[in-house]
Amino acid sequence: MPKTAAVIIIGNEILSGKVRDENAHFLAGELRGLGVELCLISVIPDIVEEIAGAVASCSGKYDYVFTSGGVGPTHDDVTMRGVAAAFGLETVMNERYRQAIIERCGRQTSEVALRMAELPQGAEVIELNGINFPPVRVENVYVFPGIPEFLRKKFLAMKERFRGEPYHLRRIYLNGEECLIAESLDAVAKKFPMVEIGSYPKIGEKSYSILVTLESRSEGALADAVKELLKLLPGDIIVGTA
């Protein structure tokens, strides 16, 4: 069975519109490429109880849970406390993180800054080359920072541990209206349940107006579905395939 995942974006700044989330989109694309089925994206505030509830729920439903945000030293960085609470754990000072903070802050290191080194008891610090503050894993939950550049660097350095059976993708470009293709898409979707079919109108594209995608873990089923769909679609609206 394919592995499943949930992404939990944590931050009042996302919910208030002050910051645009980039991490969910990035993780969705990366996980798809790795063959992991992303089932849920959730955005929640910087509240320990909210984080604990979301993490506990997702951890029991999905193979992987990825959190983003709330891991710094400021008053609203409470993700580690929330993750700990989800599993009934305390937070404890992690020496690896403590030393990294001291190296970063030097003489300006304060007790407040060292709060960033308080991790859920028993958490795994995943060492990665060139990463001063490595990702943290608790059970099947992977805790990442909210700054997109940091999240991307850390995830890309460890992405192969999540690789499964890949999806295969085909694209069909059309010039027409969705009402002209809906019946054909229905027929192919019913005939090939192993193939995911999506139809996406494109505004402002000069060469085509609809992108149809077909995805499957089975290359054979995908090829048959594409062949069947091309046969059913009106030939004069087909621009090309890829």
Question: Could you report the per-residue pLDDT of 80-123, keeping only the tens digit for each?
Answer: 999 999 999 999 999 999 998 888 887 777 877 788 899 999 99
Query: Residues of the chain with pLDDT > 90: what percent?
Result: 87
pLDDT at 118: 94
Q: List every span in the chain annotated with CATH 3.30.70.2860.
A: 168-241
Q: Give the list of residues 6+ apart from residue 112 with CB closer than 8 angstroms, or none.
A: 73
Q: List every span in the chain annotated with CATH 3.40.980.10.
A: 4-162
Q: CA 11 to CA 146: how far, in whole Å?
A: 8
Secondary structure (3-state) at 169: strand
Alpha helices in the chain (DSSP H): 12-15, 23-34, 48-61, 79-86, 95-105, 148-158, 182-191, 219-232
pLDDT at 5: 98
Q: CA 82 to CA 142: how far, in whole Å?
A: 13
Residue 31 confidence (pLDDT) above 90: yes
Query: Is residue 47 classed exposed, middle or buried when 0-12, 13-18 and 19+ CB atoms within 10 A define those classes?
Result: middle
As a whole number, the mean pLDDT across the chain is 95
Helix axes 182-191, 219-232, angle to 10 degrees: 150
- Give the tens place of pLDDT for each residue, 200-226: 999 999 999 999 999 999 999 999 999
Q: Categorize the per-residue pLDDT at 65 as very low, low, confident or very high, splitting at 50, 70 and 90.
A: very high
In degrees to the nearest 10, what's the CA dihedral of 195, 201, 207, 212? Answer: 0
CA distances in angstroms from 228 to 40, 176, 184, 214, listed in the order given? 31, 19, 9, 12
The CATH code for residues 4-162 is 3.40.980.10
Residue 147 confidence (pLDDT) above 90: yes
Which residue's structure tokens are 């085509």? Answer: 208
Predicted TM-score (pTM) of this structure: 0.92
The CATH number fitting domain 168-241, selected from 3.30.870.10, 3.40.50.410, 3.30.70.2860, 3.90.1200.10: 3.30.70.2860
